[in-house]
């Protein structure tokens, strides 16, 4: 089924928020096609009446009492930040000039 073009790879890279160099786009287009060609065989087996599995034991939502408990201090949470200012994460501008 799959035949992935260079343009589609570039689109996926945009969705994944990841800059890829032109040679990476070329290389990945071929490899993704090859890998997806190999994995599409999952379509051959499972019928509609098969339920999906994500955990070997039947677990449902796990809740705890809604009570405050110790967590990271603001200082600890900011310790690994690339940039912090006034007790907050400092980030590059979010809106464009024209906005």
Secondary structure string (H, E, C) spanning the chain? CCCCCHHHHHHHHHHCCCCCCHHHHHHHHHHHHHHHHHHCCHHHHCCCCCCCCCCCCCCCCCCCCCCCCCCCCHHHHHCCCCCEECCEECCCCCCCCCC
- 4 touches 32 (CB < 8 A): yes
Contact pick of 6, 26, 83, 85 for other proteins (by CB under 8 A): 83
Note whether 87 binds other proteins by CB under 8 A.
Answer: no
Residue 7 interacting with other proteins (CB under 8 A) = no
The correct pick among 3, 18, 68, 86 for binding other proteins (CB under 8 A) is: 18
Q: Which of residues 49-78 bind other proteins (CB under 8 A)?
A: 50-57, 59, 61-62, 64, 72, 76-77
Q: Which residues bind other proteins (CB under 8 A)?
A: 4, 9, 12-13, 15-21, 24, 28, 31-32, 34-36, 38-46, 50-57, 59, 61-62, 64, 72, 76-77, 79-83, 89, 91-96
């Amino acid at each position: 089924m799959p035949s992935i073009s260079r343009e589609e790879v570039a689109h996926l890279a945009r969705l994944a928020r990841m800059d890829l160099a032109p040679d990476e786009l070329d290389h990945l287009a071929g490899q993704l096609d090859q890998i997806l060609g190999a994995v599409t065989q999952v379509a051959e087996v499972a019928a509609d009446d098969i339920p999906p599995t994500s955990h070997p034991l039947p677990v449902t939502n796990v809740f705890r009492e809604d009570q405050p408990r110790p967590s990271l201090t603001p200082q600890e949470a900011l310790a690994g930040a690339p940039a912090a200012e006034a007790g907050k994460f400092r980030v590059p501008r979010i809106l464009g000039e024209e906005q």
